[in-house]
Each structure stands twice: as structure tokens, then as C-alpha cells.
Structure 1
Amino acid sequence: MELRQLEYLVAVVDEGGFTKAAAKMHVAQPGVSAQIKQLERELGERLLDRSGRTVRLTEVGRAVLPYARAALGAVAGARAAVDEFTGLLRGRVVMGGVTIPARLDLAEMLADFHERHPAVELSMTEMDPATLLDSLLAGRVDVGLTGLGAPLPPNVAAEVVLDHPLVVAVRPGHKLDGRSSITLAELDDLPLITLPRGTGLRTVLDGAFAEAGIRPQIAFEASEPYFLAELAAHGLGVTILPLPKARLHGDRLHVIELTRPSLRGQLGLIWRTDGSTSPAARALVAHARRHLAQRTRTEAAE
């Protein structure tokens, strides 16, 4: 049994097939298939069910997979220990995120990290909040940026990066136009335009509506705040946005303070705290926290 065979097995499972696994490992697909077949011959059991349109683990494969991950983790840990001893930082780190506000200047942060640690392979991918949290817990992502709303697992820490009041926004001429404030209860029976379930902002809203005993009328859902504002500006409903997002459309939307209760939308940096992170991942977390804290202070001063 070779380490490479275990790497290919885990890659096929994580990527959902041989083609994507081969691309991730930068090898030809037949090579991945051959190595896994060799592993199956050595173990005397099929690990993957190839009979359907998608590749799935067999019962034996499900039993073997945790040991494969543990073996790869042990090797990575040994390499990390040597790297820490010699002072060389290397490895691979992945950052995940939802739609990122431009004012956080994430590109500058990642470029600065790459310049400081050129031996670290750095990548980033956008994903929805639920997938981001699952990927973080599974170790496929090392640090993430996501909306905060629901409680996080005990082994995940969060640091608030952006914190803004939520406001109601309608187009000029709407029946709410001219109001300076509105309560949550007054939104009952109005067509609402919000982010999808699972996002931080939507979780905050759903919790507030549930506590007030209100079943909101959700007319439109979209993952991009800009599109929510566009829908409201065209008179398709009432939207609820963080104040800076609503102000971007000040000439087309009337902004109303949301009271009783006042709600806030938060974007947070999240990372694992269970000791399973590599030195490179810990360095990225520390670097991101410093950078984003500076951006937050700059925004507060403006």
C-alpha cells in the first residue's frame, strides 16, 4: 500500500469522480484509476462503486476512508513539524468565502501573504455559507469569510469583520416612502426581497420573525445584495439590507430605519480551533485577522 494510492482515493471521494480527481492531482485519469485498482487488489475488496453515473464508496470503502485521511494527515503533520523546526513555511492553504465586499481588499491581503510565504500554495474559492462551513470542518478549507447569524460549532472560531445595522429599502413612491423608521411587525404581509436561507443576514431575519410570531411573505431571493436592491428599485417588493449596501442606491431607494427590534448584519472570518490546522493555515489565519482588522479600523474612521 502506497501513500499515493491513499491520496488518489481521498481525491476521488472529495472531488466526486476520477476526472476531477486527476485534474486536482495533475495526473492522467487512467493513472488514478490504475492506482486505486491496485489498492483494491492489495486489500482484497472493492472500495469504489463504479456502476452508476457517479462514483460512490462501497461499505468497505466507507470503513477505509477515515484511515486513509488519518494516514495522510499524519504525513502532513510530520512534514509540518519539520518545517516549523527549520523555519520554512510551505504547504497548501485554501480560503473560502461568500460574496466579498471590495472594500476589504482581499486581493491585496492574499498577494501580501503570497509574497511573505512564496513556498505556500495558496488558493481561494467562493461558495455558499453551508458548503463553506462543511468544507471548513472537513479540512478542505482552512479559513473562510461568511455572514454570521446561526451559532457556530464549538471547534470553529469567528472574528467579526463588518458589522452594520439592517435597514428597510423601498423605491420612491412606495407606500412606505417618507417613513423614517419601521418596526419588524409592520413588515408582515409585505412582499420581501431577501438573501437565501442559510446566509447570515437571512438567519438573523428568520430568527427575528420567528421570535415575533410573524410568517414573512418572501417574494424574491437572491444571493447578491446588489440584485436585491435592483428588484426593490423596480418596485417588486421591500428589501432588507445592511446600511452601506442600501446607501449605494440612495438615488433609487428610500432607506428606512428598522426598529423593534434593531437588527445587524455581520460578516466574519472563521477558522478551526481544534489543532488540526497546519502551520501554513495558522499563518494565513493570523495574516487575515491582521489585515481585516486594519481594514475595519479604516472603515470606522471614514
Structure 2
Amino acid sequence: MDVTLEELETFLCIARVGGFTEASRRLNRSQPAISRRVHELERSLGAALFERSGRQVALTEAGRALLPHAEAVLASVRDAQRAVHDTRADAGARTLSLAIVGTLADSHIVDALRTFESRFPQAEIELRTATSREVSALVRTGEATMGLRYFPDQDPKLESIPLGAERLLVVVPASYPVTASRLPDLRVFEGERWLSFPPERGRADSYGHLLERQLAAAGLTEPAITRIDSLTAQRRLVEAGFGIALMPTSSVREELRLGSLRAIEVASLDAGLPVVAILRRRGHRGPLAESFLSLLKEHTPELLTW
């Protein structure tokens, strides 16, 4: 049985993005090449790994069985490459690979990156943005040495290091009739349509549960909540007057600056989005990752510390 790293990488990418077309784009390979790799992997293993439904795919039982082992294999190979690279005499030429939730790439993260670059001018930073779930997946497979995401990851293979929490504000369209910038509680929003993420199954602390808990605490029963699995889509819908939302400050900085959205601070709102650094337990970190982690802790003063 001959299984190649390229086949495992392709398998993992398809499993992560849910389709061959998007995987071919992410891997910069033609779709026939992607399909060929999967076919060869399935032939070598003697089992179908994906159930295909149009352009979408789902893992079969065999695919789910392969997933953690494929992640471990690729992570070990990447660890080995980084460990050897870190022994080189030209230490400044090392690479730090980071995966960050896009909305976290705001001022304090930028400040940490700038300080890092000034201290390690020859170091190369590989930076990519992703959702929180994708950030964890990239760290788990070793594609990223470190990730920055919302909420700790419960995967025992990953270590979640708290950095603080982003303050949440009620975000409304520019033309919203309530003009106050600060309110005592949420009751003034009774009867409004809210936009929020779907609650994550088995995760009582997920972003999707936050709004429900806050509205219930304010005595707002049976609120109208539309589930939108994208901050970008939520912002656009709020701008269009389709509803209001509870959002972290970093996700709406540009819209607030341009005046297309307004933020209302609520005194009784005791909510924040926990921000964590994600690292793989027993994975190779290297001196650059440790240095950047220290800088992150120095450059997050605007995060709440709970």
C-alpha cells in the first residue's frame, strides 16, 4: 500500500472545505489532479473516503477513521521540517506560520506583528486568515505553528492559551432610530430582529449561544433571531436594515469609521468573545513561536482580562 503525503494533504483539504472545487483552488491544482489523488488514495486503502452529492462531499465512515491519522502524519512531517530548519546557523531566516481569524487582525495584533518583525528582521511570517474552526484545523495538521481564534478549542490535541476577550457591542444601521451611544440594558431592543451565528452543538459557550443568554438575562422572551454563519454577511445585512447584531469591536472598525454602522454600548451587557492562541500539544514550536506568544501578551491591552 503506497500512500503519499500529497494524497493525504489533498484528502484533508477536501474534508476541511467540503468540496473538490474549493480544494483545487486552495491547493493550486487542477480539479482533475485533485480527483486523481483521491482516487489513488481510495484505491490504495481499498475504501471510499467521500460521499459525493453534487459539488459537496462528506466523509464516509472510512474517511472519518482516516482523518485523525492523516492529520497526525502531516503534522509530524511538518514538525520534522521545522525542527531541522531551526538548527540552522542563520537563525534569523526561520519562518513563523500563523493562522488568524480575520476579524482579529486589528490594531493590537498588527502592533505585535510589527514589533516581531523589528526584533527578527530576517524572519519570514506566513500569515493566513480563516474561521475559528479552520484555524484549529490548520494548527492540528501542522500547516500553521500557531493560531489565533475565538473560544478555546476542546480538542485534547490542542492547547488553548487565553489572551483576553473582545468586548461585544450592539451594532445597528446608521439610520437606526435610537441615537444614544450608550444604554442601560437591552430592553429597548425588544421586538427587534437579531442576527447571530448558529449555536455549535455540544458547545454551550459558543458565539451562537451568547446572544440567547444575554437576551434572556434582560427578560426578552422569544426574540426573533436569524442565524447567519458569517460575520461579513451579518455586517452587510445590518447595513441594509435587515436586523441588528451583537458583534466584537474589531469586526466593524471600518464600517464604524465610514459611518455605515453604529455601535451602542450597553451597560448591563456582560459579554465578550474569548480570544486564545492555539498550539498543538507536543508539537514543535520553536523560538519564533515562543517569542511571538510573549509579544501577543504584551500587545493586547485593549482586550478585556477576565
TM-score for both structures, normalised by structure 1: 0.63
Aligned residue identity for 2:6: Y
Q: 1:202-252 CA distances to partner (integer Å, 9 max, x unpaired)?
A: 543222234556332236856147546634xx5x55554556858936978
- Give CA-to-partner distance per residue, 1:237-292, whole Å, 9 cap, x none: 55545568589369787765423x3324346242125223x335x734642551x4
Match of 1:7 in 2: 5
- Partners of 2:249 and 2:225 in 1: CA distance: 20
2:185 aligns with 183
2:210 aligns with 204
Contact 1:169/1:240 (<8 A) preserved:
no
1:95-147 residue CA offsets vs partner (Å, 9 max, x unmatched): 131334543463982893994324x7x240333x3444455455554433334
Aligned length: 283
SS of equivalent residue, structure 2 residue 99: strand
Q: Where do 1:128-143 residues align within 5 Å? A: 129-137=132-140, 139-143=142-146
Paired with 1:36 and 1:252, the residues of 2 have a C-alpha distance of: 46
Partner in structure 2 of residue 275 of structure 1: 282
Range with bigger deviation, 250-259 or 65-74: 250-259
- Contact 2:101 2:129 (C-alpha < 8 Å) held by counterparts: yes
> Considering only aligned residues, what root-mean-square deviation do their CA atoms show, in Å?
5.0
> Is 1:248 matched up with 2:246?
no
Kept in 1, the 8 Å contact 2:109–2:300? The answer is: no
- Which residue is 2:117 aligned to? 112
Q: Is the 8 A contact 1:130 1:198 kept in 2?
A: no
Instruction: Provide the residue aligned with 2:239 in structure 1.
Output: 230
Structure with max Cα Rg: 1
Kept in 1, the 8 Å contact 2:108–2:299? The answer is: yes
Aligned partner (choices 143, 147, 154) of residue 144 of structure 1: 147
| 1:160 counterpart = 2:168 | no
CA shift, 1:201, in A, is 5.7
- Give, in angstroms, the shift of residue 157 of structure 1: 1.6
Q: Percent identity?
A: 20
Superposed counterparts of 1:29-44, under 5 Å: none
CA positional deviation for 1:61: 5.8
Is 2:195–2:245's contact at 8 Å kept on the other side of the alignment? yes
The question of whether the paired residues in 2 share the 8 Å contact of 1:12 and 1:18 is answered with: no
- Tell me the alpha carbon deviations over residues 33-80 of structure 1, each in whole angstroms, 9 at most, x when there is no partner: 77776666766x345569875677666565555555444444444444
CA distance in 2: counterparts of 1:126 and 1:190, whole angstroms: 34
Give unmatched runs, 5+ long, in structure 1: none
Q: How far off its partner does 1:196 sit?
A: 2.8
Q: Secondary structure at the match of 2:113?
A: helix
Aligned with residue 128 of structure 2, among 102, 111, 124: 124
1:144 maps to amino acid: G
| CA shift in 2, pair 1:230/1:38, >3 Å | closer
Change (3 A) 1:217 1:284: same
Which segment drifts farther, 6-15 or 85-94?
A: 85-94
Aligned in 2, Cα 1:191/1:20: closer, same or farther, shift over 3 Å? closer
**Structure 2, unaligned stretches of length 5 or more?**
201-205
Q: 2:222 maps to which residue?
A: 215
Contact 2:135 2:147 in 1 (8 A): yes
SS of corresponding position for 2:214: helix
